[in-house]
């Protein structure tokens, strides 16, 4: 019988080799092991023996991080990302036992928030822990979440939260088939008002789900207290400006729940919070807010103000009959718990089928 050590040998490092180089060579070696005839049933025991020996040698030389399971992740990683030279770090928490911090992104962006680096040449800007999580996703979602996590400097916790909230599906539901393909290959680009919209908005981080009764003031206060999470949920380019912004018109005072600014769209975004069912009065009030900002607040170099009424339950027919087609006013539902990804995926599949049927 041929022993594992005689059939496969880890290349000896050259003088001056960096750990990242050795790590890269390790992943290539592990991937090559499975790509050869050892995939056959008769060779599986040999492959396992090689992995055990390889894990022991790497652990002796470099310390923790090279267990058998981790080497399997390395193999899967190399197969999932062919043609890209890996230079990856662990999360800070994985190395030093400290809270995870956001690392600067190395991927450039256009003003629309899109990556300008070709996918095949895109550097690996995330941590190894990020990629271990991404390996469990399908190809389209994996590409999308990698781009978004890189561009927005998501921690691993942020990445998991956005995945669990069904961000990809929620964005895809407001796009056509071409837009869905763009999500996978370019990430979430922001170049028009519709690009910042999603449904539902998921506000589970507010901690209001357990409350039997809460007011609009409670909802607003919880958002302000968790403004960083709220901006993450809204998406790219948002800056928080004010809460209960007052303006006076015809000697009467009016108050806007939340005023934000989107630097990518170069416009104000006004948000009104409603804990009940949407009414035509809510839409008319937001139309007045938007008109006021467009006429008296925004500068000549800025784009038209966007108004979003966030409500527990909207009526699409009411929105269509109340607002003109070109209105920059939008009604969107929010929920205080994480949605079921299976339900979102089912809705997305049904929506795509409807689009195909309409196209025929």
* Both tokens assigned to 265: 């769209």
133 in Cβ contact with 159 (< 8 Å) = yes
Report the pLDDT value the prediction gives residue 7, as an integer from 0 to 100.
44
Q: What is the pLDDT of residues 131-167, one digit of tens each?
A: 999 999 999 899 999 999 999 999 999 999 999 999 9
Query: H or E segment at 255?
Result: strand 252-262
Domain termination residue (choose one: 30, 56, 87):
87
216 located within any domain: yes
Is residue 104 in a domain? Answer: no
pLDDT in tens, 202-251: 999 999 976 778 999 999 999 999 999 999 999 999 999 999 999 998 89
Q: Is residue 146 domain-resident?
A: no
Structural domains counted in the chain: 2
Which of 65, 87, 109 finishes a domain? Answer: 87
**Strand 201-202 and strand 238-249: pairing?**
unpaired
What is the helix (H) or strand (E) element at residue 308, kind and residue range?
A: strand 306-311
Domain boundary among 87, 113, 147: 87
In a domain? residue 274: yes
Which residues have a Cβ under 8 Å from the Cβ of 59 and sit 6 or more positions away? 65, 66, 67
d(CA 8, CA 336): 54
Does the residue 98 lie in any domain? no
Range from 151-160, 182-191, 281-290 carrying the lowest mean pLDDT:
182-191
Q: Is 131 exposed, middle or buried (0-12, 13-18, 19+ CB in 10 A)?
A: buried
In a domain, 238, yes or no: yes
297 falls within a domain:
yes
| Residue 34 lies in domain | 12-87
pTM over 0.85: no
Give me the chain's average pLDDT, please: 81
Selection from 4, 23, 3 nearest residue 13 by Cα:
23
C-beta separation of 297 from 308 below 8 A = no
Greatest mean pLDDT among 75-89, 126-140, 178-192, 253-267: 253-267
Which region holds residue 243: left if phi is over 0, alpha if psi is between -120 and 50, else beta? beta
Kindly state the tokens that stand for 20.
């990242």
- Separation CA 262–CA 250 (nearest Å): 29
Q: Residues 265-292, buried b or exposed e (16+ Cβ, 10 A)?
A: bebbbbbbbbbeebeeebbebbbebbeb
Q: Is residue 262 a part of any domain in this protein?
A: yes
d(CA 176, CA 104): 32
Which of 7, 34, 13, 8 shows the shortest CA–CA distance to 25?
13
Distance (Å, rounded) from C-alpha 202 to C-alpha 210?
15
Tell me: do 332 and 206 sit in the same domain: yes
Q: CATH code at 255?
A: 3.40.1350.10
pLDDT digits (tens, 9 = 90+) for 107-135: 334 444 444 454 555 678 899 899 999 99
Scan for tokens 């769209």, then name that residue: 265
């Amino acid at each position: 019988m041929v022993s594992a050590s005689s059939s496969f040998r880890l290349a000896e490092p050259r003088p001056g080799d960096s750990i990242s180089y050795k790590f890269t060579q390790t992943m290539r070696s592990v991937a090559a092991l499975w790509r050869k005839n050892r995939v056959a049933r008769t060779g599986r025991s040999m492959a396992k023996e090689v992995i055990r020996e390889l894990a022991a040698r790497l652990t002796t030389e470099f310390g923790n991080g090279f267990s058998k399971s981790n080497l399997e992740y390395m193999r899967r990683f190399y197969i999932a990302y062919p043609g890209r030279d890996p230079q990856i770090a662990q999360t800070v928490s994985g190395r030093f036992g400290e809270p995870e911090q956001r690392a600067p992104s190395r991927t450039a962006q256009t003003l629309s928030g899109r990556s300008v680096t070709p996918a095949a040449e895109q550097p690996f800007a995330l941590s190894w822990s990020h990629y271990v999580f991404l390996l469990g996703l399908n190809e389209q979602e994996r590409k999308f979440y990698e781009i978004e996590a890189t561009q927005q400097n998501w921690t691993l916790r942020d990445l998991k939260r956005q995945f669990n909230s069904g961000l990809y599906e929620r964005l895809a539901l407001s796009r056509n088939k071409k837009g869905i393909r763009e999500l996978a290959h370019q990430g979430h680009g922001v170049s028009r008002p519709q690009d910042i919209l999603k449904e539902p908005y998921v506000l589970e981080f507010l901690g209001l789900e357990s409350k039997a009764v809460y007011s609009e003031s409670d909802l607003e206060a919880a958002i302000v207290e968790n403004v960083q999470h709220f901006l993450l949920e809204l998406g790219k380019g948002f800056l928080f400006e004010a809460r209960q912004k007052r303006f006076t018109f015809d000697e009467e005072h009016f108050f806007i729940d939340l005023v934000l600014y989107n630097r990518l769209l170069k416009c104000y975004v006004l948000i009104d919070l409603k804990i009940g069912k949407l009414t035509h009065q809510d839409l008319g009030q937001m139309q007045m807010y938007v008109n006021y900002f467009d006429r008296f607040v925004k500068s000549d170099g800025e784009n038209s103000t966007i108004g979003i009424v966030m409500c527990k339950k909207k009526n699409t027919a009411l929105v269509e009959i109340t607002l003109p087609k070109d209105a920059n006013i939008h009604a969107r539902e929010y929920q205080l718990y994480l949605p079921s990804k299976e339900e979102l995926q089912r809705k997305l599949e049904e929506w795509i089928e409807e689009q195909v049927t309409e196209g025929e």
